[in-house]
Structure 1
């Protein structure tokens, strides 16, 4: 991103309905992480949106907190959890200044990192260093740059993750190719050759970063 979008833009997107990243359930890549035991100890779902991942992890018995800078998103997440009968916890928090949150062992970042500009990506990594316990991990699922004329959303190169977490206290252990499921918007229908509302899989990066 050239400039990090304001929280108000996300608030409006959630008030207007379901943004294209809301698919009614968790991302398959996150389901796979949970299946493979990637989440340990206390978990923070940062940028939780409408709460699909927090709800999924809570159902599995994880001690998880969903946090988002958008109050509208958190309100919808709480409603969704209540409707699902899941006792999931949510709070409004600034991902760039999460000092008020308790320390955690694992952070899930699904489609948050890529909305920040380069300066805020580095600031985000520094902020996480203050709440992730030594030995803990951050899992980042972010849209990958493809060079297509129309991208699904904010996109990054893998190098952006490496650069942001290059500071002391972090080790980027792995960045692999993954996919991200989203909903085609009216604006992207022609580019994808699919009608608006169609679910598609788009290229993504899946990173595991370790706190030392």
Structure 2
């Protein structure tokens, strides 16, 4: 997530700041399109911040690995969510060695409000896609440029950027959660998506 210097992220979390809380619309999307497999599943949250989504996923049946590049974020997550069954990892998904991730793969990988801060998004997404178990999904949640004030454009993605993110996935489903776009990506990374694979849902 190279667009923002490390010290900025550390200061953000050390100062007690956070990002937008997980909304009811997002919870509904996850329940309908990325529910844990029967008997439980494994999930990876990339850019977990202080842990709200990771703990939500754990409560719905996933065993969760949650990673962030900011030590200050992870300190707050561990303090706030002790005993919630989440493994917290300090890792920059774009630049660090991912050796600590589960070799058995994941049924769900989430990236919430972090895409705009990753430089090489397509490379990162396809590398994550290789860690999906059969039938698994990558769920991307991002502010949309069209609904974001100009002075905050750096936190959002526009339609061209969103289209690039869907290239190479066998199945793409786009949904809305308030002003956020949610993309549910399935299928082996590198497989060409058919024209009917992209579905826009209200």
TM-score band by shorter chain is 0.7 to 0.9
The two structures, once aligned, show a CA RMSD in angstroms of: 2.4
Matches within 5 A, 1:95-110: 95-96=93-94, 97=96, 99-100=98-99, 101-102=101-102, 103-110=105-112
Measured after TM superposition, the shift of residue 210 of structure 1 is: 0.8
2:145 touches 2:158 (CA, 8 Å); kept in 1? yes
Matches within 5 A, 1:1-150: 4-19=3-18, 21-23=19-21, 26-36=22-32, 38-40=34-36, 41-82=41-82, 85-96=83-94, 97=96, 99-100=98-99, 101-102=101-102, 103-117=105-119, 120-146=120-146, 148-150=149-151
Relative contact order, CA 8 A, sep 6+: which one is greater? 1
1:45 touches 1:66 (CA, 8 Å); kept in 2? yes
- TM-score for both structures, normalised by structure 2: 0.77
1:208 matched to 2:191: no
Cα offsets for 1:124-166 (capped at 9, x unmatched): 1232133223432111110100264333761112331331342
Structure 1 residues 8 and 130: alpha-carbon distance in aligned structure 2, compared to 1, 3 A threshold: farther
Count the aligned residue pairs.
179
Measured after TM superposition, the shift of residue 50 of structure 1 is: 0.2
Measured after TM superposition, the shift of residue 22 of structure 1 is: 4.9
Unaligned runs of 5+ in 2: 189-202
- TM-score for both structures, normalised by structure 1: 0.73
